[in-house]
Amino acid sequence: MLPSSPATHVLHVVGARPNFMKVAPVVRALEKRAGVEQTLVHTGQHYDANMSDVFFRQLEIPAPDVNLAVGAGSHASQTAEIMTRFEPVVLERKPDLVLVYGDVNSTVAAALVCAKLSVLVGHVEAGLRSFDRSMPEEINRLVTDQLADLLFTPSEDGDLNLQREGVPPEKIHRVGNVMIDSLVRLLPEASRCSANGFPESYALVTLHRPSNVDDGEALQKLLRSLLEISRQLPLVFPVHPRTRRRITEFGLQSGQLHLLDPLPYVEFLALQRNARVVITDSGGIQEETTYLGVPCLTLRDNTERPVTVSMGTNILVGQDENKLCREISKILNGQAKRGTIPPLWDGHAGERIADVLTASTR
């Protein structure tokens, strides 16, 4: 697939927090392969120190070679801005292959630029589908997978979705879950993290999905349910900038809820590992809790990661407060759902991606 020159130039594009734990293992695996040159581009979609810099440090990702510094914007303007600023970088750096990660606006923007310039694109975390096109990430996933030349999937459902959409099987490589590579590597460090200042038993909460936080009424309802839960079980709630902004904009009452700033990777991993339950609308956290065997209640009606429900500890509760409270009671009564770790979620997905890339250069 890649040109059979002695040196191969791989350019990685990342932009938002969930990309960082995915790129780290791939960069690390490719560093060990002879004849591979790597360039790292940060689009700057996430720019706060606690949404970006600290992740680079903890995950030991090399400093980006290029930062496009796009910042915030509407979906169209952010995507367009990334494309406009990324195109000259590709023309100047001339990579043999561009790797894009996950499902954020940076992913689809970079894939579109490369497809138009006839530069090969590999998509890491391909094939995931929620079948819900009201989710911006679903649009990003669909478009990126149609454009990509190499599709690296984390689980079998990804392969099946891609085949159903007409992607030729030879483009699909099931390599497992790269995000779990980062978790496996940093879990020992997380285990040494001090639990000082946190309750002994708690629910860990994260919330940032537009469908939950961009509507004032829905968000107020969720905050009320959380407040109710906090009477039985203390909550630890690191708040995403989008959610914090909405709470202020809508003038919502978060009552006794103690809102923390976003946490670094290792500290957050430590909190997940020790949580009685995790309540979230994130994608990646559904996977991390499945690996850790910690019960996860997902505040969404669907998931692009069905294996976390079929094999793992995840339960979809949507916006149904009664179901949420029922599931919390079950967990507190010792009847939490048990799960197993899906195949190839073993800490070696990055190496399998490097194998595919270097085999195709031979």
Confirm if 328 and 203 have CB atoms less than 8 A apart.
Answer: yes
Nearer to ligand UD1, 145 or 351 (CB): 145
Residue 151 is classified by DSSP as E
∠ CA(335), CA(338), CA(340), 5° rounding? Answer: 175
- State the DSSP string of 29-73: HHHTSTTEEEEEEE--SS-SIIIIIHHHHHTTPPPPSEE------
CB of 335 to ligand UD1, least distance (A): 30
The β-bridge partners of 123 are 100, 151
Binding mask of the shown chain, residues 12 to 41, with x at each position contacting ligand UD1 by CB under 6 A: ----xxx-----------------------
Q: Which of 208, 240, 258, 348 is catalytic?
A: 208
Whole-number Å distance between alpha carbons of 154 and 176: 4
Residue 321: closest CA among 279, 266, 262, 261: 279
Task: Give the contacts of 48 (CB within 8 A, at least 6 positions apart).
Answer: 241, 262
CB 207 within 8 A of CB 314: no
Q: What is the DSSP letter of 170?
A: G
Minimum CB separation of residue 123 from ligand UD1 in Å reads 15
Taking CB under 6 A as the criterion, the residue among 125, 137, 145, 159 binding ligand UD1 is 137
Minimal distance, residue 208 CB to ligand UD1, in Å = 5
Out of 12, 173, 208, 348, the residue judged to bind ligand UD1 by CB under 6 A: 208
Beta carbon nearer to ligand UD1, 29 or 204: 204
Residue 48 binding ligand UD1, by CB under 6 A: yes
The whole-angstrom separation of Cα 3 and Cα 235 is 52
The answer to whether 286 contacts ligand UD1 (rule: CB under 6 A) is: no
Residue spans of alpha helices (H) in the chain: 17-31, 54-58, 75-93, 105-116, 136-147, 156-164, 178-191, 210-213, 216-229, 241-249, 265-274, 284-292, 307-310, 321-332, 349-359
Interface with ligand UD1 (CB under 6 A), residue total: 19
What is residue 128's three-state secondary structure? Answer: coil
The position carrying tokens 């599709």 is: 151
Q: Which member of 53, 80, 117, 136 binds ligand UD1 (CB under 6 A)?
A: 136
51 contributes a contact to ligand UD1 by CB under 6 A:
yes
Min dist CB 42 to ligand UD1, Å, is 11
Per-residue contact string for residues 239-258; x = within reach of ligand UD1 by CB under 6 A: -xxx--x-------------
Q: Are strands 259-260 and 235-238 parallel, antiparallel or unpaired?
A: parallel
Among 104, 126, 172, 204, binds ligand UD1 (CB under 6 A): 104
Query: Does 69 engage in binding with ligand UD1 (CB under 6 A)?
Result: no
Q: Please indicate whether residue 75 is annotated as part of the active site.
A: no
Contact 140, 13 (CB under 8 A): no
105 near ligand UD1, rule: CB under 6 A = yes
Does 224 interact with ligand UD1 (rule: CB under 6 A)?
Answer: no
Does 47 sit near ligand UD1 (CB under 6 A)?
Answer: yes
Q: Is the Cβ of residue 116 or residue 245 nearer to ligand UD1 in the bound state? A: 245
Q: Please report whether residue 46 would count as binding ligand UD1 according to CB under 6 A.
A: yes
The single-letter code of the amino acid at 33 is: R
Binding status of residue 234 toward ligand UD1 by CB under 6 A: no
**Which residues of the shown chain bind ligand UD1 in the complex (CB under 6 A)?**
16-18, 45-48, 51, 72, 103-105, 136-137, 208, 240-242, 245
Annotated catalytic residues are 208
